[in-house]
Chains A and B, each alone.
Chain A
């Protein structure tokens, strides 16, 4: 078994002359909750898409559990994209069927349980749901898989503060010592309590990879404040 759940070696992605990712060197251990932070357009989503296998690097490589990204790694990676790909005419129950078909590790009873806690009717069509409810459903789908690596791209942007707490709670409760979670978000203060490590990226470069405790110890301020100072406009 590989020591790291994720390794990026000299990962670069060019779109024409633009360097969306520039020589990213990164190792993430198992059992960590990692925050991926950076200003708009810094490359967060591009990085996550490489890990999910939706983009291929211009140069460099990405290994998940020691294996290059591909069919095998998609089985152990649970990915929440930054925008929905689900058909909006589908009912929640039908989407559950779809997930059960696609992923061996989908735990339907867990998903139904979470749905109930958030008071969402499984017979509702996605189309008729509010933005926040849709986001909750998608997060439930992703967190109901027994994956080794969860990639959450902006998971809490549209949901209300109470549901946000519930979602963070879900993340903590479902935490398993062998699984790692990468969360990209701008709502730093809401999630920094649950993060082990912080990654800052800017203009496609990884400029900081540090544990939350160390950052607080070193700078004597929260990650949220540190971010605001570091990336002051």
Chain B
């Protein structure tokens, strides 16, 4: 998975989102030890201070935790991971619905379209 940044929002917020995504999608599985701040910063090509800030905020949200001297780990609390996953999904859905509304679709039409695409995908 690539680290990609857009132009509009602060880098640390984008880092938080992308690390969350890695956790809920299982790339960083529960209980995994995360690479060091420096290595993560290098991988994402960002300033280590920025990475540090993102990790600190993720710690506050309990998605990751640190053991003194041992490093940082992904939480093993699956309920929490699922909750974050659902929140991310809701945000994506909100964007999707807004885009559809922008195209002039009503809620019913969106549902029909969605059903059509899902059936097509299954084929």
Residues of A within 8 A of B (CB): 31-33, 165, 168-169, 172-173, 175, 193-196, 212-214, 216-217, 220-222, 224-225
Contacts and interface: CB of A to CB of B under 8 A. Distances in A.
Binding site secondary structure of chain A: helix
A169 B42 contact: yes
Interface of B: 5, 7-12, 38, 41-42, 45-50, 53
A175 B7 contact: no
Given A31-B49, A172-B41, A173-B38, A193 B8 contact: no
Nearest to B39: A173
Contacts of A175: 38, 47-48
A216 B47 CA distance: 15
10 contacts: A33-B49, A175-B38, A193-B11, A194-B47, A196-B47, A212-B11, A213-B10, A213-B53, A214-B10, A221-B8
A168 B44 CA distance: 11
Contacts, number: 56
Contacts of A217: 9-10
Given A172-B41, A172-B42, A173-B42, A196 B8 contact: no
Given A169-B42, A173-B38, A173-B42, A196 B11 contact: no
B51 to A, nearest CB: 9
A213 B7 contact: no
Q: Which 10 pairs show the lowest CB-CB distances between chains A and B?
A: A222-B7, A213-B10, A216-B10, A194-B47, A193-B46, A217-B10, A196-B49, A220-B8, A172-B42, A175-B48
Contact of A220 (B9, B42, B46): B9
A156 to B, nearest CB: 14
A22 B115 CA distance: 66
A167 B41 CA distance: 14
Contacts of A194: 45-47
